[in-house]
Structure 1
């Protein structure tokens, strides 16, 4: 096995370095992976630019990256579910498995979760990385390592659509056509939603949404009144949507999710923005709009994998740029600036 473990290490704000780190030995219940692909997430860019997300602060050098896939290179002695050479997608959060949240199956709410590339935990953007074997999902032969890495954001969308109770009677508005908004569109469609409309401020993203199967798109204009935007969206649906997925985290968008949703409907909040925002809560409660938060995901990796493996969801068009591990800095710059219509930037580690 080559001893080079080139790794992308974030030292602080705008200080990302490529350096060799030691190859870790897998514990009894872990596998060592030769990393295949790592996608850049908005949170990775956020740590690079701001050095923190809420209470999670980069205080010491941290290896970045959590949307990942790889090939099993070494097995811990208790591992039974995988063998050397298996290609896997990595679910990046390892819960304690012992608390009530874990036992109830809501392990995303575990207070002791160890989540890849969330300070102070190192991430997966390196040649070799070890991970809990039961949080590695074997990829069928026809599913690529790139698709394996994309299961992580897809999983967020699967969980959000489940939280929203999306089905054949759903008319869905998705606010924000970034990667999470776009995968939410794919999943809502796969779950049988009757109509899906997506909004954004950027025309090129809406063009991608159209390509991915949106029934309609709506270009948000900053100078338009909230009331007019609500009326425009209701006109597109011929009614109010009964499900809204907020995927941007912007205050204007969170407000819209509560104002535009049909009385008795559900607004699912996925986007993470400022810690405090001003929202029309009275309108939401008078209309009995259920507001449901989404924090990462739980018990949905297999569903995301099945959607891709069965062909019900095609995530490949989301990848707009590909880089080698040695080109990590350029990859992050592309992702940060959104250059050339960047949606999902993929780094190949091998």
Structure 2
């Protein structure tokens, strides 16, 4: 250390502490326990941008955390800010960030992989074991979500938006990415037929992407008439099927009218005591087979009793609900040599008619989130007319984080108090 002019050692240089400010955040502390809190936010660090959040869409996983403080097997163990379908504006730029300027509008890709493991190097970073995903309880401490006034986020996972893409559509790039990834996994050939089970936001976007990929017929099915009507009216699918609610209740699908004893056996069938669980499963399979036939009858001129004809069925089925009976229906609805893509995550352990897949060589493919999709999504939204208008999917908007509770309550419903369709609820700054 060089001496000072006075012969004393020169003072050691200490970097100035980064400036911190506070922001308002909507924070979940337990089931339905949302609180507004003030949180400290530092200036963006190396490689980061600070984003003023404009729009956040409410996802089904967010609703699950809101209701149960858990999503499937993931249980929150500390306060968690929700939200991961988001867009906003750059308000500060950290060191070593290039290609951005203040005021840039961006969509946020909120899963941050390690970037170093073998799976990341293969480009399948969505499967990274060290992935940190905003508003998920998987990593501890939890990676906080986007229902905050501002967040710092790695610039590499911020995607600049053309001026004509709205903040709402940009927020929907996240579920659109799921749909893009699902169709990429399916790789349908032009002229293929597709079935989409579930007409929520992801199901609608999956149907739209199947159409965009060249599928000549895309049938979408749901228990909700309004969602199916929306899908057809807005051009997301070519055909729609409404599952009768009376049939979709557990009591009628799963043999609720049969007499079973508490010992787990049913009344004799052909002189043989059959386990009640076996009969129940048979009734599930019979129901799913019949349901598949009804769905396919919309697009076929052949005999709808297709299940024994190797040429009948769709080329690819996208199962977007995660329900066991829907997975059964998917297998029965898919033709020999076809594919079933598991998009929805619901029932974690399922009993399936696997012989259908074995004997007909049906490929069952899973998807988990997405990888390398945002640029594709932005190009599709920029090419006007290629996809239906994503802004039309936003049926309800809530202004300000203080109204998050009402937004989550509405997002858990299919119709509002006036009987209007609830499809995508967003919270705007």
Do these two structures clear the TM 0.5 threshold for a shared fold by scoring above it? yes
The superposition leaves residues 35-69 of structure 1 with CA deviations (integer Å, 9 ceiling, x where unpaired) of 11000000000011121123321110011100000
* Greater alpha carbon shift after TM alignment, 248-257 vs 334-343: 334-343
Kindly report structure 1 stretches of 4+ aligned residues shifted beyond 3 Å.
Answer: 1-4
Rg larger in 1 or in 2? 2
For residue 296 of structure 2, the aligned residue among 228, 234, 245 is 234
Please name the residue that 1:153 is paired with: 175
Distance 1:315 1:166 in 2: 23
- What's the TM-score, normalizing by structure 2? 0.79
Q: Please say if 1:346 is aligned against 2:397.
A: no
Please name the residue that 1:318 is paired with: 393
Distance 1:27 1:56 in 2: 30
Distance 1:295 1:218 in 2: 26
Please name the residue that 2:198 is paired with: 176
Distance 2:25 2:233 in 1: 35
Q: Which runs of 5+ in 1 are unaligned?
A: none
Report SS of the residue matched to 1:12: coil
Q: Tell me by how many angstroms 1:188 deviates.
A: 1.2
Please name the residue that 2:221 is paired with: 199
Work out whether residues 266 and 291 of structure 1, in 8 Å CA contact, stay in contact via their aligned partners in 2: yes
Query: Within 5 Å, which residues of 2 pair with 1:1-350?
Result: 5-119=23-137, 120-213=142-235, 214-221=237-244, 222=247, 223=252, 225-238=287-300, 239-311=312-384, 312-313=386-387, 314-325=389-400, 326-338=402-414, 339=416, 340-349=420-429
Distance 2:120 2:392 in 1: 35
RCO (CA 8 Å, sep 6+): is it higher in 1 or 2? 1
Work out whether residues 20 and 42 of structure 2, in 8 Å CA contact, stay in contact via their aligned partners in 1: no
The superposition leaves residues 228-254 of structure 1 with CA deviations (integer Å, 9 ceiling, x where unpaired) of 212222322314110100001111101
Distance 1:323 1:3 in 2: 25
C-alpha RMSD over aligned residues: 1.5
Q: Tell me by how many angstroms 1:4 deviates.
A: 5.4
- What's the TM-score, normalizing by structure 1? 0.96
The superposition leaves residues 72-98 of structure 1 with CA deviations (integer Å, 9 ceiling, x where unpaired) of 111111111322111000011010000
